[in-house]
Chain A
Amino acid sequence: MDGSGPVVAFWLLAAVTLVAAGGVLVSRNLLHAVLFLILAFIGVAGHFVLLSAEFLAMAQVIIYVGAISVLLLFAILLTPRAGRDNGETKAFPVGALLAVALAAVFLFVINDTNWKTVSESPALAPEALGEALLTSWVLPFEIASVLLTAALVGSIMLARTAEEEAEDALA
């Protein structure tokens, strides 16, 4: 990596991510908040590219930008009272307290970490990831599929209608 290009890219991406994250906080309409969140996800994917973690960036775009945001949009459209103005909420003091606590933890960790610069970017290629998944991490890899299936079955069970629930009770 050479020249000022990556530095410019970093500040551009940081600005986009922070502005989008601020937009999530201040937008009164929840759907607008989700759209800002998608932009923030894309900014984070750009940061992954700058860190030479291209596969992570691709996964971020495919999963967060592609699927999680669709899920969030449907969750909002499913919630009857989500359409109202998102201004005042009773949870504000609790949320503010949590945000301050989280910021304190982050600042502590950032201060405490020994940040060192490496001259060469570490290999985070998909080949290395695949090798790790197939050799030392086989069991977690297979358990991940069980976890995904459990999430699938659980969501189907939660979303059944009253008649289907009655059928399940009989069976």
Chain B
Amino acid sequence: MSFYDSWSALMIGTIAGFILVFTALIAARIFGPFASERGKGVSYECGMLPIGSRWAQVNVRYYLIAILFLIFDVEAVFIFPWAVTFVRQAEEFGMFVFYEMLVFIAVLVLGLGYAWRRGVLEWK
């Protein structure tokens, strides 16, 4: 299979995606009615007007969840090349190939267990 066969579909899809999104945005700008009134920019139609900065600091827990996600993402990237070559390597080295990955995952599970005990996975 040549380079074209395997990647041209992705290329066409990407370009089509860009065209679709940008025509939708530009068409909305051209055809959509725009009105600028004072009341339009207000958060609520009735009730108290919000006061102060619009900036709200998010909880640090989101960041910890993101770190957990990143670390297990990297682990998945390591597992993928191991999985595609596992059968052939296992013929040569036996169960050793399996234990290598078991140790890798076990060390990461230690970290996950620590996060669990610290209550990172709970939503307080």
A62 touches B103 (CB 8 A): no
B67 touches A71 (CB 8 A): yes
Write out the residue numbers on chain B whose beta carbons fall within 8 Å of the beta carbon of A11: none
Q: 8 Å CB contacts to A: which residues of B27-72?
A: 53-55, 57-58, 60-64, 66-71
A159 touches B89 (CB 8 A): no
A70 touches B69 (CB 8 A): yes
A133 touches B77 (CB 8 A): no
Q: 8 Å CB contacts to B: which residues of A63-110?
A: 63, 66-68, 70-71, 74-75, 77-78, 80, 83
B73 touches A66 (CB 8 A): yes
Q: 8 Å CB contacts to A: which residues of B62-93?
A: 62-64, 66-71, 73-78, 80-86, 88-89, 93
Give me the interface of A with B, judged by CB distance under 8 Å. Answer: 1-3, 5-6, 9, 49, 52, 55, 58-59, 62-63, 66-68, 70-71, 74-75, 77-78, 80, 83, 126-127, 129-131, 133-135, 138, 141-142, 144-146, 148-149, 151-153, 155-156, 159-160, 164
Besides A127-B84, A130-B81, A148-B71, 4 new A-B residue pairs in contact (Cβ under 8 A), listed by A number: A9-B11, A55-B80, A134-B93, A159-B64
